[in-house]
Structure 1
Amino acid sequence: MAILLRKTDRVVVQGITGKYGAFHTRLCMEYGTKITAGVTPGKGGEFFENNVPIFDTLKEAKEKTDCNVALIFVPAPFAADAMVEAVDCQMDLIICITEGIPTFDMAKVKRLLFQENTRLVGPNCPGIITPGESKAGIMPGYIHKPGKVGVVSRSGTLTYEAVWQLTQLGLGQSSCVGIGGDPIHGLSIREVVELFWEDPQTEAVLIIGEIGGVEEQEAAKWIKENPKKPVAAFVAGLTAPVGKRMGHAGAIILGQSGTVAAKIEAFKEAGIKVIPSVSEIGRGVYAAIEEWKDKK
Structure 2
Amino acid sequence: MAIWLDHRSKVIVQGMTGTEGRKHTNRMLMFGTRVVAGVTPGKGGQSVTFEEDPIPVFNTVREAKHATGANVSCVFVPPPFAKQAVMDAIDAGIELVVVITEGIPVKDTAEFRAAAEEKGVRLIGPNCPGLISPGRSNVGIIPPNIARSGHIGLVSKSGTLTYQMMFELGDIGFSSCIGIGGDPIVGTTHIDALRAFEADPDTELIVMIGEIGGDAEERAADFIKANVTKPVVG
TM bracket, shorter-chain basis: over 0.9
Q: Partners of 1:194 and 1:108 in 2: how far apart?
A: 24
| Partner residue in 1 for 2:81 | 78
Q: Partners of 1:91 and 1:21 in 2: how far apart?
A: 19
Equivalent pairs counted in the alignment come to: 231
Q: Partners of 2:216 and 2:97 in 1: how far apart?
A: 20
| Partner residue in 2 for 1:105 | 108
Q: Partners of 1:214 and 1:72 in 2: how far apart?
A: 27
Q: Partners of 2:117 and 2:132 in 1: how far apart?
A: 25
Q: Rg bigger for which structure?
A: 1
Q: Deviations over 1:70-101 (max 9, x none)?
A: 10000011111111111101111000000000
Q: Structure 1 residues 89 and 225 mapped into 2: Cα distance closer, same or farther (>3 Å)?
A: same
Q: Specify which of 155, 163, 167 is matched with residue 164 of structure 1.
A: 167
Counterpart mapping for 1:57-72 below 5 A: 57-72=60-75
Kindly state the Cα deviation for residue 43 of structure 1 after the two structures are TM-superposed. 1.2
Q: Partners of 1:227 and 1:22 in 2: how far apart?
A: 39
Show structure 1 runs of 4+ deviating over 4 A.
Answer: none
Secondary structure of 2:94 counterpart: coil
Q: Partners of 2:80 and 2:229 in 1: how far apart?
A: 42
Kindly state the Cα deviation for residue 113 of structure 1 after the two structures are TM-superposed. 2.0
Q: Partners of 1:180 and 1:38 in 2: how far apart?
A: 23
Kindly state the Cα deviation for residue 114 of structure 1 after the two structures are TM-superposed. 2.6
Counterpart mapping for 1:81-160 below 5 A: 81-160=84-163
Q: Partners of 2:191 and 2:117 in 1: how far apart?
A: 16
Is 2:213 aligned against 1:217?
no
Secondary structure of 1:225 counterpart: helix
Kindly state the Cα deviation for residue 12 of structure 1 after the two structures are TM-superposed. 0.3
| Partner residue in 1 for 2:3 | 3
Structure 2: where are the runs of 5+ without partners? Answer: none
Specify which structure has the higher proportion of strand. Answer: 2
| Partner residue in 1 for 2:196 | 195
Q: Deviations over 1:209-255 (max 9, x none)?
A: 0011111111110110124111111xxxxxxxxxxxxxxxxxxxxxx
Q: Partners of 1:107 and 1:134 in 2: how far apart?
A: 28
CA RMSD of aligned residues (A): 0.8
2:219 partner amino acid: E
Q: Partners of 1:212 and 1:84 in 2: how far apart?
A: 28
The answer as to whether partners of 2:198 and 2:228 remain within 8 angstroms in 1 is no
| Partner residue in 2 for 1:280 | none
The answer as to whether partners of 2:125 and 2:186 remain within 8 angstroms in 1 is yes
